[in-house]
A and B are shown apart, each in its own frame.
Chain A
Amino acid sequence: MKQLLNLYFLFCKISLFTFGGGYAMVPLFQSELVTKHQFLSQDAFANMVALAQMTPGPIGMNSATYIGFDQAGVLGAFIATLGVVTPSLVLTMAAAAGIDRWKNSPALRAALSGIRPAVLGLIAAAVIFFAEASVFETPLCFLWQTGQNFCLCWQGIVVFAAVIAVELTIKPNLIITVGGAGLLGWLLGLI
């Protein structure tokens, strides 16, 4: 029971501080779930986000459902998803009731003028996080602490470059891009 309540409030908190949705959530999830509560290892977390991206539905909700299930079964999945939805539901209803006042509030605009660029920083940090889990073999932030050698994963680099090239030219459906990347990863692994 206590665990379920904790899950609920944890996901309420994450949802409350996510602006811009989707990828901006990755660093928030990471600092709460991997660093603080250690529900998952860094690698398992990267796989979880990959799974959330590959399956249809909002990434944040998919991740919450997955973690909830991982921690406390079906009920946990339900509670965690409910936790992500609650702040949206309450705040958005409040804003919808006074939509014009909300839209034109100078304090809100001021705060958002700072939050928007910070969200960009968050998303850029998510790039580094995923690079550590695919292109580099060692976490970058530990390089100067442990004196480990700088290792690159060539399969990851090939897939990364291929996806950039495809997205800048053909821009196929996301399912095809992600599915193709998985296939390419598998083929390169056979070599």
Chain B
Amino acid sequence: MTSNKTTPPARPDDTPDTPEAAATPCPEQVPRLHRLRVLFWVFLGISAFSLGGGLAMLPIMSREFVTKRHWLTDDDMVDSIAVMQSLPGIIATNMSVLIGWRVAGIPGALAATAGVFLPPLVVILVIATLFRQLTGNPAVDNIFLGVRAAICALILLTAIKLGRQILKGAYEIVVAFISFVILAFFPVDAIWVIILAGLSGLAMTFFPALRLKKNQTGAKTP
């Protein structure tokens, strides 16, 4: 159903163009209403069918908008991802706003976000109703024990992968360790950890005295 819908927009975009024109993205050639419709349905599909959330959705987005339709370039995607990572909020919604904006302005951002918004609402409403009737059943409890153990393992693997990217120096290790200990073993509000970590980043960058000390200790340890 969606694949039928998605092929036509690529055609009028591709056929009349010379090769160099096809390389530059020109979503303007496609009627705005059509762009909005595609944005809505593509993001609806991404939200409805991708498991594990967030970063797993990025390759699908770049396939749909860069490879298939030439509405965005690879640079657009890299820029969007960089901005997305610096903003709070859910990855999928942030990306839908950034991509929707680039393809069709504010209406585009709203159409794409609406696409992300709808599937969880419908799916979870159905599942939450069923789930209420299932809790307390010992078989279901055992299944959920298994799933929780699986999630524990998956998050651990994610943390290790992230740690390899993030932990570059003494400062990063100290911040990560302190926030881990505080959150895991003390009843501290997670929001304060984020605020304080942001402030410490600002202090480290704008007060060279602190940074110098960090460099010296960093130089001594190896």
Residues of A near any B CB (own CB < 8 A): 13, 15-23, 25-28, 30-32, 35-36, 46-47, 49-62, 65-66, 69-70, 74, 77-78, 81-82, 84-85, 87-89, 91-93, 95-96, 99, 102-103, 106-131, 133-135, 140-141, 153, 155-157, 159-160, 163-164, 167-168, 173-175, 177-178, 181-186, 188-190
Expressed in whole angstroms, the minimum distance between the Cβ of B117 and any Cβ of chain A is 6
Expressed in whole angstroms, the minimum distance between the Cβ of A22 and any Cβ of chain B is 4
Contacts of A15 in B (CB 8 A): 88-90
Interchain CA distance A52-B127 in the complex, whole Å = 10
Closest to B152 in A: A130
* Contact partner, B172, options A28, A117, A157, Cβ 8 Å: A117
Within 8 Å by CB of A91, from B88, B124, B154, B163, lies B88
CB-based contact B93/A88 at 8 Å? yes
Of B14-22, B24-32, B49-57, the segment with at least 4 beta carbons within 8 Å of chain A is B49-57
- Residue-wise, chain B 96-112 has the 8 Å CB interface mask toward A (1 for contact) of 01100110001001100
Contact of A88 among B94, B141, B153 (CB under 8 A): B94
Q: Is the CB of B149 within 8 A of A159?
A: yes
- Contacts A53-B154, A95-B83 aside, 6 further interface pairs with beta carbons under 8 A come to A18-B88, A31-B189, A50-B144, A121-B180, A123-B155, A123-B158
How many residues on chain B are close to A (CB under 8 Å)? 102
Q: Within the assembled complex, what's the spacing in Å between the Cα atoms of A127 and B144?
A: 16
Question: Could you tell me if A31 and B172 are in contact, using CB atoms closer than 8 angstroms?
Answer: no
Q: Which residue of B lies closest to A129 (CB)?
A: B184
Is B208 in the interface zone, CB < 8 Å from A? no
Interface string of B194-207 (1 = CB under 8 A from A): 11111111101110
Q: Chain B contacts of A160 at CB under 8 A?
A: 149-150, 152-153
User: Residue of A at shortest CB range from B129?
Assistant: A69
The answer to whether B146 and A57 have CB atoms under 8 Å apart is no
Note all chain B residues with C-beta closer than 8 A to A128: 184
For this complex, 29 residue pairs linking A to B, each with C-beta atoms less than 8 Å apart, are: A13-B191, A17-B191, A19-B87, A19-B88, A19-B194, A23-B158, A52-B124, A53-B51, A56-B48, A57-B47, A57-B124, A58-B90, A62-B124, A92-B89, A92-B98, A110-B201, A115-B198, A117-B166, A117-B176, A121-B176, A122-B190, A122-B193, A156-B148, A167-B153, A174-B154, A183-B146, A185-B147, A185-B149, A188-B146
